[in-house]
Structures are given as C-alpha cells and as structure tokens.
Structure 1
Amino acid sequence: MLNFRDSLIDASSKGDYNKVRTLLSTGIYIHRTSSPYDTNYSNSEGKTTLYFASLHGHIEIVEILIVRGADVNKSNTYGVTPIFIASQKGHIDVVRSLIDAKANVNLRKKNKGKDIGASPLYVAAENNHVDILKTLLAGKADVNLSLKNGETPLHVASKNGHRNVVKELVASRVDVNRVTEDGETPIYEAAKNGHVGIVKVLVEEGREDVNFIMVHKVWGSNKLLEFLKAGEDGSYSREGDEGITALFKAVLKSHLDVMQSLVAAKADVNKANNNGATPLYVASQEGHFDVVQALVAAKADVNKARTDSWSTPLYVAAKEGHLNVVQALVAAEADLNLAKKDGCTPLYVASRNGHLDVVQALIAGEADVDKAKMDTETTPLFIAAQKGHFDVVQALIAATADVNKAKTDTGATPLFIAARNGHFDVVQALVAAKADVTTAKTDGCTPLWQAAQNGHLDIVQALVAAGRADVNFIMVHKVGEASTALFKAAKHGHVDVVQALVAVKADVNTARTDLGATPLYVAVQNGHLDVVQVLIAAKADMNKALTNGATPLYIASQNGHLEIVRALVAARADLNKAKTTDGATPLYIAAEKGRIKVVQALVAAKADVNKANNEGCTPLWQSAQEGHFEIVQALVAAGANVNFIKVHKGGEASTVLFVAAKYGHVDVVQALVAIKADVNTALTNGCTPLYIASQNGHLDVVQALIAAEADLNKALPNGVTPLYIAAEQGHMNVVQALVAAKADLNKANNNGCRPLYIAAQEGHVDVVKALVAGKADVNKKTADGCTPLYVAAQEGHVDIVKALVTSRADVNEAKTDDGATPVFIAAQEGNLDVVQALVAAEADVNKAKSDDGATPVFIAALEGHLEVVKALVEGNADVIKAATGEWTGEWMPLKIATNQNHSVVLVAYLENVTKTQLGNNFVDAADRGDVNKLR
C-alpha cells in the first residue's frame, strides 16, 4: 500500500485531480520538510509532485500545488526544474503558470552542482515550441545562455531547421555570430544541415554582419552563388535594409575568395549602399589591398564617389594612410584632384593627417599641390604647416607649392599658422623657401607678433634673423587696440622673448593706442617681475601712465605685487604721481585694497602719507573705512594726520575715527583712540563717532568710545542722543552699555521724545525693560502730551504695555491736547489684547476725551470693534453715556453702531447691554427717589 507522499506523487503523475485535492485537504504542513504531508517531497530521483504534474501537463494539479506552496524551482537529481520539463514537453499552460509563480526561467540542467546544461529556452528552441519560446522570452529568459560548449538556443534551432524559432530569437537581439568551442556559428549549423531557409533568415534579418565565409566554407562558391541569386531580380546583389549587398559584405570582411566568386558570377562591382559607398570605396577605406586589386581588375569605377560627401576611394585611402591602396588607385588612373563636397582633395587630407608616403605618391602622380578647400582656400601646405607635419611641408615645398598662399577668410599664410602654433622646424623650412615674414593677416597680425604673444622664442629669433620682420610693427585690432610684439610678450610674461626683442632694439615705450599702456605697465599689471626687470634695465619709462594717469607703480600697488613695487621704487619711480581721473596715489590705492606690505614699502620710501585723492580722502581715512588695521597702524606711525577731516561733495565732513566707528572697525577705533584722536569731533550735522556707532549697533566700538570718555549725551541739532538712536533701532546691548555708563535716560529730542518713548513706539520690549531698569521716567510726556504707555497702546505692543504697567506707568494719564487715555486709543485702534491688559490694570474705562466726550466703548462702537466693546463692557464700561462736542445729542454706543451700519452682531450685543444697563439704572433711580433721572 502506498504511503501518503507516494500517493500524492502517483495522483499528480496520473492527473487524478480529485485525489490530489482530497490528499491535500487532510492538512499538509507545506513548509515543514520533516512532515509526511510535505508537497515538496521528492522520490529517489529528486522528482517532486509538481515535477510530475508539469511533466504530464496536468495544469489544474500544477495550479493547486502552487497555491499550497510547492517550490517552483526545486529540481531533480539532474537539475531539471518543473519549468524546464514543461518547456521541453511543450505544455504552454504549465509554463505560463510557473512563470506567474516566479519560476526562474534561466535555471539550467546541472552536473555535479555546476550550470553546464540546457536552459528552458534551449529545450523549447530544440523542440520547436514557438509559443513556449515566446512566453519564456517575455519572462526575461536569456537568449544567449549557452551549453558548456558554447551552443546557444539559436545554434540548436538553426541546426534543427526551426525557422520560426530562429526568427523569434533574431528579433530578440540574439548574438547571430556566437561561436562554439568548435568554431561553429548558427549560420554554419544551418548551412551544414541544408537549411537554406534558416540561412536566408540569418542573412536578411540578422542585425549583425553575418559571416559569409562560414556559408562559403560549407556550400562552396556555386551553392552560395545559387543562394544569392535566388532574389526576384536574379542578381547577385540582393540588398539589406541599408543597401548592403553580399559583395559589399564580403569586401567589408576581406573575404577575398567569396568576393572573387561573386565577381566571377558577374556581381555588380559598382553597386553602392544607401550612402553611395561602393565595394571599392569600403575596401580602400579599410586598407584591404588585395581586395582593391581584385576590384580594380574587375573594372570597378575608381572615381565613383559617395553621394553624401562626394569622397572617392582615393580620398578615403589617402585619409587613412593606406599607401599601397593609394598606389594601386593611382596606377589605375584615379583622378588625383577629385575633391569632396567641401573641396578637400586626396593630397589635402593626406597632408592634414601627416601621411608623408601618401603625399609623395600623390605628388609623384602629379596631384595639384596648390588646390585648396573651396570655403577658405586652405592649401595642403597650409594645413600641413598648421599641424606641424615638417616632412610633409618639405615635400610640398620641394614640389613648388606656393609658400605665401593665404586663407581667404583670415589672410593667414602657412608661415603665420606655423609661427602661431610653435612649429619651429616648419617655420625654418618656410623661411628658407622665401616665405614672406611680413605678410599680415586681415586683422593686421604678423607672424612675429603672433609668435611673440605665444612665447615661441626660437621662432621669434628665426623671424628676426630672416632680416625682414619689423620688431616695432604695431598691430591694430578691430576694437581700436594697437600694440607691438614686445607689448604682447611682456603682457604674457615671455621674458626670453622680451629679452630677444629688446636686444634687437624693439621700442620699450611704445604704448597701446587705446589706453596708453606700455610694455612695462602691462608686465607690472600681470605680475611678471622678471619681465619688469628686463624692461627697467632697457630704460623703460617707469612713470609713463595710462590715459587715466595710472602709472606702473600705481597698478603694482593696486594688485599687491610687492617685489615689483620694490623694483620700481629702487629705480626711482615717482611715489606720489596720482591718477588724473580720481587723484589716487600708489599709497592710497594700496591702503584701500589692504596691501599692507606694499604700504610698508611705500612708507619706507617716503611716500606722502597725507596726500588726498580728488574727493578729499587720505590713505589713512580710506584704510580706516575699509578696516585695514595694520595699514592704519603703519600710516599713523609714519605721521598720518589722525584728525584729518574729509569734506564730502555735499559739504558733509567726517574724521578718520568717525568712519571707522561707522563701519564697526573696533581695532581701528582703538588704535586711533590710543593716539588721542578726538572722540567728540562731530559732522556738520552733529553726528559724533559714538552716535554713528550706536545707530549701527556696533557694541564693541561703543564700549571703546565710552572707555575713551566720549560725550554720552552729545546730541544732533534735533536733540537726538546716542541713547535715543540706539533705543529707536532696537540695539539692546548698546542701550545697556550706555545706561551702564550713566547716559541721560530722560533727555528728550526737540519734540519731547525720550529714549523710552521711542523704544515703546517701535516695539522694542527688551530695550524698554532695560531703560525702565535704569530708572527712566515712565510717565514723561512728549510735546503733544503722549506718554510711553499711550504710544505703546496705540501701536498695539501689548508686551510693552504690560512692562510699563508693571513699572507703575499711570494707566489713566491722558494726552494733553484731547484727553485721550491709553485705553481709549487702544480701543480706537482695535488692539484687543492691549485693552484687556489695561482693563486688568484697572484703567478707567469710562474716562472720556476732553474735546468731544467720547468714551473708549463709544469709540470702539464707532469703529466696529465688537471684541473690544465686549472687553470694555466686561470691565464695567457705561454704554449709556453719550458723547458731547462733535457727537451732540444722545450719541450712545448703540446709536452710533447702528448709524455706522456695523454688523448685526455688534448692534444686537449693544442693544442687549444697553437694555440691561437702562433697567438697572431705572431701579437704582427709583430706590434713591431720583425723580429727575426717572423723568
């Protein structure tokens, strides 16, 4: 009797679905391999229930086993998986279900644990199961997975003649030229086994270049030719998608015997591909000499050019440097001067690429040595000179090429381009051939000028030695700049070139015509010390300035070139010569830019430390503004005026200390204070160093000035003190420092505003607290009678209101002019939280203005502030009290809210409160017997 597991295997093998379902329903523990009810149990050969169901194609059993957790990738002893056996046997539904269950489509048969056998795709291809093959490919099967010997699914399908399988594999980007260990390709397998249709598929549909030599090896010439002639037109030139014929392919791969067979069978040797390239063209390009000879012998057209570029076989052979091919084509009377579409000839391209032997062969064949490109008239000699191909240049010169023929677009000659690119040997050859060394480009640039700019010393010397180059020639640029070769060499720091030009009497002082820069100036500007030294030794004018007056020493100082500054100073350059445009001296610009070592060098040389620029700025003033501490020290030590006053264009004047304080340069301030700079000298508007430092929040500067006993209370003409401006700007730390130094906390400006008032107005709560802590008077009024509490309430600064109330500010102190209280103005502005704070502080909510009798609740009703009205009512505001003055008559809050068309909610609220208060008043009057009030 079979046990449970064997019964399940038996039922699965026989396709007994009901029995399988019954057995599975008994409660199999599918994930416990030790269980007798395991669905993954295998027999002695390693075959599972799923394996047997897949083998026999029992799809319903396969699906129920998958649902119950059967392992879809478990293989038998030989590595055969369920999907492998289903693919081999052709059970498409089973294959699909297994793929859906994530079966591995690339698991192969194994031998001793190694993947060396066939894959599911391989056996599907082997057995011509096209649908299964498609399904596996859709499931990401590897089309190139091979056996140990390298045989792929395409090999076996080609060998077995399964044409549709081959087509599917080719469409799936299979490697059509994959070679086995025995050197066999798929097309070889097809040809060997007589599957002509497969060969055709591989030839016509294969994406890669199919190896005809394999077919030729098996079939021989006649059968191959018979195959190729099977096209409808009866030719041997059947084309692929790009117009590539069999002959073209044979030529491309240099299969001479195949090609000769095709030629012998009258294949069209001039049939071109879609780009117009013929077999001879591609053979010439690839350098297949024997193939070229065979095609020439077969009367191939040696001058047939590509339709896209017009390049000929000779051109492409010359380009690639295939000498023997070039010689063969020349011998076949190819047109040596037939050019491409852009005018490039074979000689031009050979010269460009430096193929000397090809150039010599073409010259020997009487190629036109001066035929140029059509667009720019660039000759073979020009391009060879440009690339530095010395031997090619010599060959062309020997062939009497025109050494002075220039490009039409720029006017550059072969000599110019060789000089620019630094090809010394080429320059020598051209000079020896009498090339004109003075011919300039259309932009005026000569070979010497260009060689000097690029630093080619040997070329400069060669051109000068030629005896005709003008060393002082001035090149005029399109933008108006004009300069000499010496200028350019100096600019770029080519000291050896500079020395060479100076030695042949180049003018060291000829300047650029647009800016006036001399060679010395531009060498200084770019920091070329060695060039500067050469030019100084050559007696260059050290003080010759630009058109704006800047001298070499000025630009050296500006750029911080210390050693150059020292060299110029030693050569007695004018230390104090200023720019004409702004009056800045070398010392001034060095101070402004923070060049400390340059400043020290100029000071040591006795430069004028107090000479101001056109705006009245001295070096010390400017360095103080920029915060250059060390420079300030150096200038002060050299006797600079620390109390110098700069007068600005608008008539304003400021000291060195003031400008340092303004920008927060504390170290500079301390240095100036230490040497007794006047700490209280003010601008014409009364602004002192302490004031400007307080305004800008520079705490450390403020502290330094306080320590130097600056006047803490010195005010502007409008009465604003340092403490006032610091409070206004919210500079808490500065305020604290001034308070600690006993600044007058209650000093008012001309409008009666004090530091506490302005801090309250601007909302600086921490400043307010600091001033209150310093005993500022919290109830001091402005000229119009406003207290700090009033303005804080007006602006809605509730934190400040609370701070002032805590500090015993009078909550009922009213404005002098109209009697408005803090709670009134807060109610008017709708500042609810302020109103609530004041009510909590027992402010008089019924105190009316003196001018019109309006109460806080009245004004809140007038403005429509519902929540403020509620807060005031909760604070016992009288809603019956009528206004006077402008609001004559019984203008109670309810009436004014109704009259202003405010929200029905506000009106309803006031109506209810009014009725309540009226009722209470009536009862109160009756109790007291107040007849008049009752009436």
Structure 2
Amino acid sequence: MRFLSLVGNSFGCSASGERLVSAARDGDVQEAKALLEYNPRLARYSTFGVRNSPLHYSAAHGHHEIVYLLLESGVDINLRNYRGQTALMQACQHGHWEVVQTLIICKANIHKADYLNGGTALHLAALNGHTRCIRLLLADYIPSIPNFWAILQAGDRKSITEFDQRGICEVINKTSDGGITALHMAALNGHVETVQLLLDLGASLSEVTVEDGTTIDLIGSGSTPLHYAACGGNAQCCQLLIAKGASLTAENANGWTPLMVARSWHRSWLEDTLKSPPAENLQVLPSPYLSLPIMSIMKIARECGWRTSELAPICLDPCAVCLERKCMVAVEGCDHEFCTQCALYLCSTNSASTSKHGPPESTLVFVWELMSLLHWFLAQV
C-alpha cells in the first residue's frame, strides 16, 4: 500500500507539473500562480525527452509575467534543456525582449552556449535580427552616457571608467562551432540594424569561419562577415561593413572574394558595391540603440526593486507614465520622474526605426528625454 501511495503521489506531481507547463505555454498567469502557491517545487518540473521546464516554455512564448513568477519561486534561472538552451536563449531566439529584460535584471548568464552548435543567446538574437534583445543582453557593458558613440569614434574609450572594452569584445566576438560570430549571422540574414549595433560596439570584421565537422558551410571556411553578407544579398549590410573597413579582396579557403561569393549565389545587384571601394566615405549614423541609459536603470532595478506587487495606499509622487508606482528615476533637464518599470519599458521600446509605430507623441517625448541622461533615482523607496 505504501508503494502504491508513493506512485500515486508521483503521478499527482507529474499531472500538476504538466498543468504548470500548459499554463506557462499558454500564458495563464492565474493558473500558474495558483499551482506555484500550492507547490513551489513544481517550478523545477521538466518535460520528458526535451527536458523543457515551465521557465523555458514561458520564455519561448513571451509570457514575462509567468517568467517572473517562476523566478520568484526559486527556479534556477540558467536551467538547461536537452539541447543545452537556457530560457534566455529561447527568449532571444523568438525576440521576446520583455522576457529578456526580466532575465537580465535577475542576472541570467549571457555567456552560456548550447550543446548543439555552441551558440549563445547573442548568436540567436543576431540570427533572427532581434536588436532590442541584443541591447538588453549587453546592458551591463554599455554605460549610460549621452555622447557614448562620439567617445567610441574618438577612440577615447579609456576615459569611460564603466566601459569594459575587453569584456564586451569577448562577448560580441565569441564564436560558435565553425568560427561563426554574431556579426556573421546578422550579415548573412540581412539584419541591418543588428549589424550596425554590433559594429558600433566593436564587432570584428576580420574574424573568419573555420572548418568544423558539425557545421554545414556552403560559403567556405575562412569567410569574413562580408563574405556572409554577400551570400545573404543585402546591399545595406555590405555597405555598412565596407564603410567600417571590411576587405573587398579577402579570400576564403575556396579562394573566393566577397564578390565571387555574390556571383556564385546570383546576387547580381551587389556587383557595383563589391567591385571596388566607394568613391566617397559612407556617412553612418550611430545605432539608435547605442546610447539608451539602460545600465543605470538596471542598477536601480536590482538595488531598489523593480516589481511592486502592492501599491502604497497613497502615492504622493506617482510615476509620470503609469500614475501608480512611486518614482525611482529622475530625468535631467526636465520635471519628469518615472518608476523603474516604466523607465525600463520606455528605454527598451525606443529606437528611431520603430518610432512610427510607437506610442503617442507625449510618450515619445518622455523616451527622448530619457535618452539625454538619467541621473540618480530618488533616495526614498
């Protein structure tokens, strides 16, 4: 009877675990909350075979509220499935920036690589052109300085005490199997915004692919990001790489230059771009994602709290956006003050290329004011 009882409890736990998986996949916050209150250990449940946890499912489907619930329940934020993927990798793969934001605030490991091809969260975000996710992944490396791009261009990086140039270059230029970098992936798939951000932050133009038994490479080993851009066929990507100094004459292991790669893949429209350097230097504006003050707000979120489950009975100093939570962030040069959650949301959703489809004009004003310089948060929590 004791044996049967234990088996029965096992089946019960499995059934509850599957219910939590379904809630995580479908975005049922109330069901997930009820199950976790009943048994917080259900957060550690994983499905048979693929070993995806509720955290993986909620991250892959963009349900950031459930991701936060699971993290509060004590689940390992860097839990892997059978492919070695973490929730952060799956969120980056599918472009769920709100999940990425939550995981980065809770200090998810951005350096882990999967078991299949050695790709990191950055590789997956670059592969699919999720520039906003990349910016959040690198939040702890990019200081909140309004003229950060100008300082980078001037080559005066040592003057920025918060800027770890070596650290960010190691992250950006980390290779997966076959020597493929995030820049290779973004260039191949024609993601112009992603290529621009990676280049601004020091992605290597000379990193070349290598022969690897697990990687199918139809372009050839020894290929630079420009070879990959030529294969992909996006003229803007090629122009950006050339403007930053990519070599037009570099040959891969097949003896192919980028132009020869373009011809072999029938990218005839790239002939003029790849034949010779442009007569005039291409004027490239900084990535709109570069100077967002996300590092400062991330620090505030970690030190003083990000999510507030219970609002104060009377908030004498409410956030200028939600009008509910208490102000934690003040913008220099204007009278607007925000809660941490709204400040992060505004920063994470802003970019010049998406402003057409963004929030109303008044909110966009808040966004651009945030970009100027966010000073310290209010002293009282």
Match for residue 436 of structure 1? 204
Counterpart selection for 2:79 from 338, 349, 352: 338
Match for residue 325 of structure 1? 66
Distance 1:494 1:377 in 2: 30
Counterpart contact for 1:472–1:485, Cα < 8 Å:
yes
Question: Partner letter of residue 277 of structure 2?
Answer: V
Counterpart contact for 2:52–2:81, Cα < 8 Å:
yes
What SS does the aligned partner of 1:436 have?
coil
Distance 1:501 1:309 in 2: 44
Alpha-carbon offset, residue 376 of structure 1 = 1.6
Segments of 5+ residues of structure 1 without an aligned counterpart are 1-231, 244-267, 507-935
Counterpart contact for 1:280–1:300, Cα < 8 Å:
no
Q: Deviations over 1:702-734 (max 9, x none)?
A: xxxxxxxxxxxxxxxxxxxxxxxxxxxxxxxxx
- Counting only pairs closer than 5 Å after superposition, residues 815-830 of structure 1 correspond to structure 2 as none
Matched, 1:296 2:36: yes
Matched, 1:283 2:23: yes
Match for residue 26 of structure 1? none
Distance 1:419 1:490 in 2: 17
Match for residue 487 of structure 1? 260
Counterpart contact for 1:476–1:483, Cα < 8 Å:
yes
Matched, 1:407 2:176: yes
- Using structure 1 for the length normalisation, give the TM-score: 0.24
Matched, 1:452 2:230: yes
Matched, 1:422 2:190: yes
- Counting only pairs closer than 5 Å after superposition, residues 547-626 of structure 1 correspond to structure 2 as none
Distance 2:226 2:118 in 1: 23
Matched, 1:361 2:134: no
- Counting only pairs closer than 5 Å after superposition, residues 203-218 of structure 1 correspond to structure 2 as none
Counterpart contact for 1:474–1:485, Cα < 8 Å:
yes
Match for residue 150 of structure 2? none
Counterpart contact for 1:403–1:414, Cα < 8 Å:
yes
Counterpart contact for 1:277–1:307, Cα < 8 Å:
no
Counterpart contact for 2:230–2:261, Cα < 8 Å:
yes
Match for residue 376 of structure 2? none
Counterpart selection for 1:272 from 4, 10, 14: 14
Q: Deviations over 1:100-141 (max 9, x none)?
A: xxxxxxxxxxxxxxxxxxxxxxxxxxxxxxxxxxxxxxxxxx
What SS does the aligned partner of 2:40 have?
coil
Matched, 1:315 2:56: yes
Alpha-carbon offset, residue 488 of structure 1 = 2.7
Match for residue 336 of structure 2? none
Alpha-carbon offset, residue 298 of structure 1 = 1.7
Alpha-carbon offset, residue 490 of structure 1 = 4.1
Alpha-carbon offset, residue 397 of structure 1 = 2.7
Match for residue 115 of structure 2? 374
Question: Partner letter of residue 426 of structure 1?
Answer: T
Question: Partner letter of residue 14 of structure 2?
Answer: A
Q: Deviations over 1:501-540 (max 9, x none)?
A: 334189xxxxxxxxxxxxxxxxxxxxxxxxxxxxxxxxxx
Q: Deviations over 1:640-661 (max 9, x none)?
A: xxxxxxxxxxxxxxxxxxxxxx
Distance 2:251 2:237 in 1: 19
- Using structure 2 for the length normalisation, give the TM-score: 0.57
Counterpart contact for 2:248–2:275, Cα < 8 Å:
no
Segments of 5+ residues of structure 2 without an aligned counterpart are 142-167, 211-220, 280-381
Counterpart selection for 1:472 from 230, 249, 254: 249
Distance 1:473 1:304 in 2: 50
Cα 1:237–1:284 shift into 2, 3 Å: farther
Counterpart contact for 1:369–1:399, Cα < 8 Å:
no
Question: Partner letter of residue 118 of structure 2?
Answer: E
Question: Partner letter of residue 358 of structure 1?
Answer: V
Counterpart contact for 2:125–2:131, Cα < 8 Å:
yes
What SS does the aligned partner of 1:475 have?
coil
Match for residue 272 of structure 2? 499
Q: Deviations over 1:802-838 (max 9, x none)?
A: xxxxxxxxxxxxxxxxxxxxxxxxxxxxxxxxxxxxx
Counterpart contact for 1:386–1:418, Cα < 8 Å:
yes
Cα 1:412–1:327 shift into 2, 3 Å: same
Distance 2:26 2:267 in 1: 46
What SS does the aligned partner of 1:295 have?
helix
Distance 1:454 1:233 in 2: 60
Q: Relative contact order (C-alpha < 8 Å, sep 6+): which is higher?
A: 2
Match for residue 298 of structure 2? none
Question: Partner letter of residue 472 of structure 1?
Answer: T
Cα 1:279–1:496 shift into 2, 3 Å: closer
Alpha-carbon offset, residue 470 of structure 1 = 1.4
Between the aligned residues of both structures, percent identity stands at: 29
Question: Partner letter of residue 464 of structure 1?
Answer: I
What SS does the aligned partner of 2:47 have?
coil
Question: Partner letter of residue 388 of structure 1?
Answer: G
Alpha-carbon offset, residue 491 of structure 1 = 4.6
